[in-house]
Structure 1
Amino acid sequence: MIKKKDFLKEYNIEKETLKKTGMKWEELNSIYDSYCRIEPQLKKIGKDFVNDYLYDIEKAGIHSYRYRTKKAGHLLEKIIRKKSEQPDQYKYINRKNYYKYMTDLIGIRVFFLYREDWIHFHNYITSVFENDPENYIEDRLLDFDDDPDHYYIAERPKVYRRTGDTRIYDKKLIDIKSDGIYRSLHYIIKYKGYYVEIQGRTLFEEGWSEIDHDIVYPYYQDDEMLSDFSTLLNRLAGMADEMSSYFRRIKQQRQEQLEKEHAEKEAQKKLEKEEQKKLEKEQ
């Protein structure tokens, strides 16, 4: 159980915002208690997921990963925020079905060294999980599959693309959204009875995102100074990603040049040997 006054203060929520949702505090407290009971199970499911599918990072096409379960307080904050912003979509959410609405109770981050490496992970994850558009959820209640043994991709994979990104994404494979400052892959997997959200980012992008989330999002988005500093850090992260790609491209070009020079030297040696043999025969 959590006290209403303490919760509203901690998460910077106005009483009017809570009232706008039409939800009684007793119902939110019941969701809080229910989630606290199932969270240990969700942690185990998250651990099972990474052990089964991500432990071999080379096979998964990633640099590294981490996972977590959502904090109970953050769950309530998100329900209040979503219900006030999208009342029709979250009209029937309650203590018995909230896990059908929330697709990020179990969250996994996968990281890439280079932004172009997203395709390796995409090919991997769509090969180990069923990716049928017929399974994509539209109605969170009606489309929820109660079979815990049915593992599948529950939404069309999508990517938020940073303004200025080169064409590294294929719209035939993934839904491309232009966010302006944010770059991240998103996959929703139905696994062992719950949704698992996978986000994919570069290491530089993750650094900016974590700092922005810790300081700005979602409670200080209206703070002009904090937002400006976050935007500046975001630009630096984007430049770092660009530089990383250039570094790798230069390395590849130099390797190709060295291989070409080596092949030319070997061909020259072979030609000289053949000419030497020809001279020896003539003598």
Structure 2
Amino acid sequence: MMERDLFLRKYRIEQEDFDAAGVSWEELTAIADHYATIEGKLREIGKDFVDKYLYDIEKAGIHSYRYRTKAQGHLLEKIIRKKKEQPEKFAQLGVDNYWKYVTDLIGIRVFFLYREDWRHFHEYITSAFENAPEQYVKDRERDFDNDETHCYIAERPKVYRRNGDSRIYDENVIEIKSGGIYRSLHYIIKYRGYYVEIQARTLFEEGWSEVDHDIVYPYHKDDVMLRDFSRLLNRLSGMADEMSSYFRRMKVEKEFEEVLLGEYKEDKEAKLLASMRELLGKEER
């Protein structure tokens, strides 16, 4: 574990923000030490999840996937940030229960080729796991189910979409959050004693997200120029998704036309052949 001041500089955490989080460096060090003892288990759980539910990409209705466990430094940075931003919600977070509060220790990304493919995956994942509103977690400590064999969807599935995006989501089956530039579907699943976060997006959306996270988020969010360039790239990725949908629609329509024309051609040829046979029959008589 690195020294405190070096950690704060690396993750661009101001001293006043660290103080506002109300968590000691000793407790963070203890969390890091404990996390080091379970990270291997979490990686194995993630692998087991993708092998069981995502390996057959056609069945899942996705293009591809990847998974990871949360990096130790990013875990501590997130704890500091969450304790500062939402002190009441994360007040009880500590070394004995941090895995009940941090829902992305195991993170899985699934990718679609077309934005409309979300429906297939949503129906697949919500049929593979219980999706009962009464089981959604509200209090991280009180509502945590200690039964490792009970696997279920722990929060209502949600989608973040950008204003102006095509209205392809159904608010009756998924919570819709609008207003930002972030695009992604989110599922939190309780699996083998821990939470697994699934983020689902198109390949174009993933391209923008990776660039944004590498350059802007979360350490350069106040840089106006970088933020503006990221928004521009975000709009371009949205346009690329729209164009992809148009391409697929055109392909389907052309294939439908070809089927109709083929049937018409076959019918016409059959009628012509029947007429020729009738004519030949008359001549033989």
Above 0.5 in TM-score?
A: yes
Contact 2:165 2:238 in 1 (8 A): no
One-letter identity of the residue aligned with 1:92: Q
| 2:157 partner letter | P
- Counterpart residue number, 1:46: 46
Aligned twin of 2:254: 254
Partner residue in 2 for 1:138: 138
CA RMSD of aligned residues (A): 1.1
| Aligned equivalents of 1:242, 1:18: Cα separation in 2 | 42
What is the rounded CA distance, in whole Å, between the counterparts of 2:219 and 2:127 in structure 1? 38
Q: TM (normalized to structure 1)?
A: 0.97
After superposition, give the CA deviation of every residue in 1:145-199 in whole Å (9 maximum; x if it has no partner): 0001111111111101122122211111111111332210000010010000000
Return the offset for 1:2: 3.0
Contact 1:115 1:245 in 2 (8 A): yes
Q: Residue by residue, what CA displacement relative to the aligned partner does 1:74-120 show, whole Å, maximum 9, x if unpaired?
A: 01110110110101100100000000000000000000001111111
Counterpart of 1:204 in structure 2 is: 204
Instruction: Give the whole-Å Cα distance in 2 for the aligned partners of 1:136 and 1:274.
Output: 67
Q: How does 1:13-162 map to 2 (within 5 A)?
A: 13-162=13-162
Aligned equivalents of 2:277 and 2:229: distance in 1? 72
Mapping of residues 128-277 of structure 1, within 5 Å: 128-277=128-277
- Distance of 2:269 and 2:225 partners within structure 1: 66
Whole-Å separation in 1 of the counterparts to 2:10 and 2:236: 31
- Counterpart Cα distance in 1 of 2:37 and 2:152: 25
Letter of the 1:5 counterpart: D
Unaligned runs of 5+ in 1: none
TM-score (normalizing by structure 2) = 0.96
Between 1:5-14 and 1:16-25, the stretch displaced more is 16-25
Question: C-alpha deviations, 1:225-261, integer Å up to 9, x for none?
Answer: 1111111111111111111111111111111111111
Segment drifting more, 43-52 vs 177-186? 177-186
How far did residue 275 of structure 1 move?
2.8
The more displaced of 106-115 and 165-174 is: 165-174
Tell me the amino acid that sits aligned with residue 35 of structure 1.
Answer: Y
Per-residue CA distance 1:34-82 (angstroms, 9 max, x = gap): 1111111111111111011100100110000000010011011101101
Q: Tell me if structure 2 keeps the 8 A contact 1:152–1:191.
A: yes
| Structure 2: stretches of 5+ with no match in the other structure | none
Contact 1:2 1:29 in 2 (8 A): no
| 1:282 Cα deviation from its structure 2 partner | 4.7
